[in-house]
Amino acid sequence: MSAVTLQDISLKEYTFDNLSILKQLREKLLSEKPRVCIERARYYTEYLRDMSSDKESAEIRYANAAKYFLSRKAPLFFDDNLLAGTTTSKPFGAPVYPEWTGMTIWPELDTISTREKNPMILSKKEADELNFDINPYWMERNIIEYTRKKHNNPECMRILERIVFFIASKVGCISHTVPDYKVALDKGVEYIIEQAALNEAELKKDENLTKENRQKLEFYKAVQIAMQGVIKYAQNLGKKAAELAAKEHDPFRKENFQKMADVCDRVPAKPARTFREAINSIWIVQVAIHAENINMAMSPGRLDQILYKFYKEDIDKGILTVKEAMELAGCFWLKLNDNTNLVPETAEELWGGAGTVPAVTVGGVDENGEDAVNDLTYIMLRVTELLKTRDPSLNSRYHYEKNSEEYRDRLAEVIVNTKAVPAIHNDVAVINVLENQGTKLEHARDYAVIGCVELASAGRSYDASSSIMLNLVSVLELALNNGKRPVTGDEQIGPKTGDPSQFNSFEKFWEAFKNQSEWLIGKAIDLNEHFGHAYQEILPSPLLSAFFEGPMEKGKDLIFGGALYNSSGATHIGFADTADSLNAIEKAVFIDKKCTFNELLKALKADFEGYEKLHAYLVNKTPKYGTEDPIAKKNSHNLIRFLYDFYQSHTNYRGGKYRPGYWTMTNHAGQGKLSGALPNGRKAYQVFASGITPVSQAANDLSACLKAVGGLESLCIASGEALNLKYPSVEGEEDIKTFGQAVEAYLRYGGLHIQFNIMSYEDLIDAMNNPDKYPELLVRVSGYSAYFKDLNEAMKEEIITRTAYNIKNGKAVPFPEKHKSMLAFE
Amino acid sequence: MPENISNFILLRNIRAKILQKRFLNCIESEFAEEFLELLLKLMSLVFFLNKDFKRNIENFNGRYLFKSKDNKITVAAVFRNNQMKVYEKAIDRTNITVTFRNSKALMDYLLSPKPDILGSILRQDVTIDGNLNHLYKFAYMSRHLQLMVTGEV
């Protein structure tokens, strides 16, 4: 039976007029300038440098560091938000994590406040503290330098540092996961401490502990220490809120402080009893998790499911109204926006604009496979529709056999009204994918999205989903140049797989491509394994482990494989450009014999100058991924299958498999700007297509495009995909219906994920030229949302040039003639 | 203060001022051929004269090697015992080796307020081998020195 009781699922009667607190908080948030926050770096460094001993295990040291920080973390209340707790000591803060990327802003300490791209305010006093007190301690101790030293600057790390082959995200974080908040809500953090203490006492009965049991003992001790820190932070928040309530004269604020004091007195130490306690409990735990793990894609998961029982009980008791629930959900959304990533200017240039991507997932089916859409699902959609903030990255699940058409069309309506969110995930296909990876059916049904589009059984699987981001075009170029790339000059990077001009069949080139792939992926995996072991040695996560199914039962930290399910994700940049280039080689060189391989190589080297006729042929006459051409279909399928088989043959340091995915954040733009001309006719230094999306302007028929992408073998895309589409406009109920039907058709073909931007070419070009006119324009990048103005120029170009389809006839809208120079083929 | 020490500091001050001017001219010029030499000399002098700046190398040990791709320039900087020493030769046991296409490329890499990252990668302006934190620290000191010279800090 449906749990939806709302008369109007659109909740149109709730607007900023009667949700004025959300309006006011949103305006304040959007006016805040980001500030660098050194609070965590200060306390962690202080503890690890001055108060801990190398004799302690890493588990205990890091748990103590978390407790030391959380006990001292300032309890701050910057605005009238209904929830207590802040990620940083600033209203909008970028925390410094020296273990990961914090050191990269060292060169900018004097200038970060005034830099051109995304400046972040840092006082001289705090800059000096970083320069003289904090950073020196970490010179040899952050994850990259620890690993480099241990493995004597291995080849895989030197390849990483060329930037143009792959990215190993463990340099910056693992994070990327969905914790289990249910344990905090239903049982409380004190319960976790009790369980850990009981397990510790049980182990201590054995006088001759094995090495494994000694490790378990340390783990249970560490969990207790870290959880004490979580409780202490909540207590400090409660105490401060009570003090502020006593001093406050404004009746609303006085009551709000008092309520927050009462809430923090209870949660997360004890089980939540009300919706308000539950939502604040989740927020405090989320803040605490960020004490230990960097603020990147730490995803709250299925909030409409986790919170529903609290919502329903309060509604039934008459102690909560829909409006109040919307206010609390909205406050949570805004809290998720209280922090951003600390990014050096160089990275802003290459990858700028991303938020912290805490993904919230709504809708879909429950663990029994039944419709899970409820009133809270619609409340969260309405809150998203009103707030239009970068975070959370809202992901909706849709099961075309179980969820209603009204729900599907409401998703379409919210996308149209926000111009970008939510993304839509295919329950039928995703559940199959996870089951195929060994996840129990009921656990697969309870999946949530991590960060961009990656898939996790919520609170049960530790997927390190962003472990590898591999540039597939670099593999293609290595195969085209016998192990070299134009961007790295004459240096022999990959193995010598032969001069393609000597190949007498497409299969020979495909073999060379596969050999280069295996070599490069092998290096990326080697490095990921080195990093994984380094994390085990110096950066365990006892705090996060307590909020997972598995570690408490096994007595094992997440980083040692404590979770119920384990995997490492590897995503791919330049999929469509690579697939189309394979198509072009097969067709032009070996089928139509329009040119020899040697001529093609010369044309690429010349960026098609002097080869205009060949260029026109490659652009217009070779098969394109995203169409129904059989060659295109064969090559895209072979590529997906080959990569899947190769990754799955590798087991990671936690005992899980490597899973390939196809989402690119902003990397397809930056990497495109670093790559030479390609056989598909893409000119040198032009952006690549995003995620699993066909090359811009290559797939002119929406229906064929959806069929081609949806028809890829989704079981081979185990770490998720991002299909980015664009409609210039969607107007009226009929268009919304068509929108919903197109989405459903794609999902029925088998596609895993789809997301949209609702903007015309002209509007986006105007937004690029006049950023002040569009300060809050939200766009979907490749799995997450960003403010268009914050993106680098390459990324803006990529979003502009993405194929726009007319919703009424499904045909590509012609790109404006006068801006055609922006296209990768011009 | 004994007269010879006072004269020594005075001379260093005069030398620092001359170097500052040359450094300023260099970073404003198109070719910046003397950039590395001037940067290291000036850095070394300012460590001697400015105790706030010298805090940067208190208890800091670091061995840097800078070399041009054409091997025409090879300079080492060694930080030890709260001092900086510069050698015009290769050294071993380096924490980091910085190889650059030319002096201007190195200067842009270290000092440019708006670095052309993509262009720098495409031109292979600079390659790094070793501990990146040492590079970050050196880049901070270089930029701070630049801001001191231009009067911005």
Q: pLDDT (tens digit, 9 = 90+) per residue, A629-687?
A: 999 999 999 999 999 999 999 999 999 999 999 999 989 998 999 999 999 999 999 99
What the block records as the tokens of A288 is: 């605490």
**Could you report the per-residue pLDDT of B50-74, keeping only the tens digit for each?**
999 999 999 999 999 999 999 999 9
User: What type of residue sits at position A473?
Assistant: V
Yes or no, beta carbons of A103 and B131 under 8 Å apart: no
* pLDDT of B31 higher than 80: no
Is A140 in contact with B144 (Cβ distance < 8 A)?
no
What is the rounded average pLDDT of the residues A26-55? 95
| Pairing label, strands A778-780, A461-462 | unpaired
Q: How confident is the model at residue A826 (pLDDT cuts 50, 70, 90)?
A: confident
Alpha-carbon span A109 to A706, nearest angstrom: 47
Residue A140 above 80 pLDDT? yes
Q: Which two tokens stand for residue A505?
A: 């069949």
On the question of pLDDT at A27 being above 80, the answer is yes
Residue A704, CA distances (Å) to A629, A657, A724, B50 in order: 10, 33, 15, 69
- Beta-carbon separation of A139 and B128 below 8 A: no
The C-alpha atoms of residue A539 and residue A146 are separated, in whole angstroms, by 11
Task: Tell me the nearest-neighbour CA distance from B1 into chain A, angstroms.
Answer: 30
Closest residue on chain A to B143 (Cα): A107
Can you point out the beta strands (E) in A113-267? 166-168
Domain span at residue B62 reads 3-149
The answer to whether the CB atoms of B118 and A349 lie below 8 A apart is yes
- Kindly state the helix (H) or strand (E) to which residue B83 belongs, with its residue range: strand B83-87
Measured distance CA(B12)–CA(B48) in Å, rounded? 9
Are A330 and A383 a contacting pair, CB within 8 Å?
Answer: yes
How many whole angstroms separate alpha carbon A420 and alpha carbon A722?
Answer: 13
Chain segment A703-735, per-residue pLDDT in tens = 999 999 999 999 999 999 999 999 999 999 999
Does residue B10 register a pLDDT over 80?
no
Contacting residues for A620 by C-beta, under 8 A, at least 6 apart = none
How far CA A353 is from CA of A55, A342, A697, A720, A767, in Å, comes to 42, 11, 24, 21, 15
Collect all residues of chain B within an 8 Å Cβ-Cβ radius of residue A131.
56, 140
Q: CA of B85 to nearest chain A CA: how many angstroms apart?
A: 20
**pLDDT band at residue B123 under the 50/70/90 scheme:** confident
Instruction: Retrieve residue A273's tokens.
Output: 């009893």
Question: How do residues B69-98 score in pLDDT, each as one tens digit?
Answer: 999 999 999 999 999 999 999 999 999 999
User: Which stretch of DSSP H or E encloses residue A397?
Assistant: strand A393-398
Mean pLDDT of A308-334: 98
Which amino acid is located at A46 in the chain? Answer: E
pTM of the model: 0.96
Q: What local confidence, expressed as pLDDT, does residue A617 receive?
A: 98
Report CA dihedral (A541, A547, A551, A556) to the nearest 10 degrees. 20
The mean pLDDT of A116-144, rounded to a whole number, is 96
Of A675, A118, A346, A103, nearest to B109 by C-alpha is A346
User: For residue A622, what pLDDT is reported?
Assistant: 98
Per-residue CA distances from A153 to A137, A166, B132, B149 (Å): 21, 17, 11, 36
What's the distance, Cα to Cα, between the start and end of chain B in Å? 29
Residue B115: pLDDT over 80: no
Residues of A in Cβ contact (< 8 Å) with B130 = 153
Considering only CB atoms, A163 lies closest to which of B56, B114, B121, namely B121
DSSP alpha helices (H): ranges in A481-505?
A: none
Cα(A158)–Cα(A368) distance, integer angstroms: 48
- Per DSSP, the three-state class of A627 is strand
| Identity of the residue in A144, A158, A489 whose CB atom sits nearest the CB atom of B132 | A144
For A732-773, how does the pLDDT look when each residue is reduced to its tens digit (9 = 90+)?
999 999 999 999 999 999 999 999 999 999 999 999 999 999
Among A707, A213, A169, which residue's Cα sits nearest to residue A463? A169
A113 neighbors A107 (Cβ within 8 angstroms): no
Q: What is the dihedral of CA A689, A692, A696, A697, to 10 degrees?
A: 160
Q: Say which amino acid occupies B78.
A: V
Percent of chain A residues topping a pLDDT of 70: 100
In a 3-state reduction of DSSP, which class is residue A659? Answer: strand
Q: Is the pLDDT of residue A357 over 70?
A: yes
CB contacts of A104 in chain B (<8 Å) are 132, 136
**Side chain identity at A282, as an amino acid letter?**
I
Sort out which chain B residues have CB atoms less than 8 A from A49's CB and list them. Answer: none
Q: Which of A106, A135, A487 sits opposite B121 (nearest CB)?
A: A487
The whole-number pLDDT of residue A633 equals 98
Question: In chain B, what residues touch A670 (CB-CB under 8 Å)?
Answer: 118
Give the torsion through C-alpha atoms of B66, B70, B72, B74, to 10 deg: 20
Task: Reply yes or no on whether the pLDDT at A123 is more than 80.
Answer: yes
Strands B62-68 and B74-80 turn out to be: antiparallel
DSSP state of A675: -
The reported pLDDT for the residue numbered B120 is: 83
Give mean pLDDT, residues A478-507: 97
**pLDDT confidence band for B3 (50 / 70 / 90):** low
What mean pLDDT do residues A344-363 have?
A: 84
Contact between A106 and B129 using a beta-carbon 8 Å cutoff: no
Residue A122, SS3 per DSSP: coil
Tell me: pLDDT of A95 over 60. yes
Sign of the Cα torsion B135, B138, B143, B146 reads negative
Q: Which residue of B has its CA nearest to A676?
A: B122
Q: Is the pLDDT of residue A624 over 70?
A: yes
Our CA-based measurement puts residue A673 at a distance from the nearest CA of chain B, in whole angstroms, of 7
Query: Predicted confidence band at B113 (pLDDT cuts at 50, 70, 90)?
Result: confident
The confidence score (pLDDT) of residue A173 equals 87
Tell me how close the Cα of A311 comes to any Cα of chain B, in angstroms.
49
For residue B153, list chain A residues with Cβ-Cβ distance below 8 A. Answer: 110
3-state helix, strand, coil in chain B (%, to 5): 55, 20, 30
Judged against a pLDDT cut of 80, whether residue B1 lies above it is answered with no
| Chain B partners within 8 Å of A489 (Cβ) | 124
| Contact predicate A716/A640, CB 8 Å | yes
Backbone angles phi, psi at A453, to 5 degrees: -140, 5
A653 SS3 class: coil
Which has more pLDDT, A485 or A790?
A485
| Whether the Cβ atoms of residue B98 and residue A66 lie closer than 8 Å to each other | no
Tokens 């008092």 correspond to A258
pLDDT of res. A824: 83
> Which site among A130, A138, A145, A351 would you substitute to test the B interface, given the most B Cβ atoms closer than 10 Å to its Cβ?
A145
Residue A270: per-residue pLDDT:
98
Q: What CATH number should be reported for the domain holding residue B137?
A: 3.30.1050.10
Tell me chain B's radius of gyration from C-alpha atoms: 16
Q: What are phi and psi of A116, to 5 degrees?
A: -70, -45
**Backbone φ/ψ region at A89: left (φ over 0), alpha (ψ -120 to 50), beta:** alpha
Are B67 and B99 a contacting pair, CB within 8 Å?
yes
Nearest to A112 by CA among A104, A19, A805: A104
Strands B126-130 and B96-100: antiparallel
> What's the rounded Cα separation, in Å, for the pair A509 and A71?
60
Q: Give the residue from B79, B111, B133, B152 with the most A CB atoms within 10 Å of its CB, the best one to mutate.
A: B133
So what's the pLDDT on residue B2?
58
Q: CA neighbours within 13 Å on the CB side: how many for A764? A: 31
pLDDT score at A47? 98
Asked if A230 contacts A288 with a C-beta cutoff of 8 angstroms, the reply is yes
Q: For residue B44, give both structure tokens.
A: 């070394």
Please determine, for residue A1, whether its predicted confidence score (pLDDT) is greater than 70.
no
In this structure, of A143-147, A355-359, A469-473, the range with the lowest mean pLDDT score is A355-359
Residue A53 has pLDDT above 60, yes or no: yes
Helix-helix angle A702-710:A630-648, to 10 degrees = 30
Number of domains in chain B: 1
Residue A188: pLDDT band by 50, 70, 90 thresholds?
very high
Q: At a CB cut-off of 8 Å and minimum separation 6, what does A426 contact?
A: A398, A400, A714, A747, A750, A751, A752, A753
* CA-closest candidate to residue A328, choices A257, A380, A388: A380
Q: Quote the tokens at residue B16.
A: 């620092």
Which candidate in A139, A165, A348, A350 is best for mutational testing of the B interface (most B CBs within 10 A)? A139
In A83-154, which residue ranges form alpha helices assigned H by DSSP?
124-128, 143-150
Specify the pairing of strand A785-787 against strand A778-780: antiparallel
Test the A interface: residue of B56, B57, B106, B118 with most A CBs within 10 Å: B118
Whether B128 sits inside 8 A of A132 (CB atoms) is: no
Instruction: Tell me what the pLDDT averaged over chain A comes to.
Output: 96
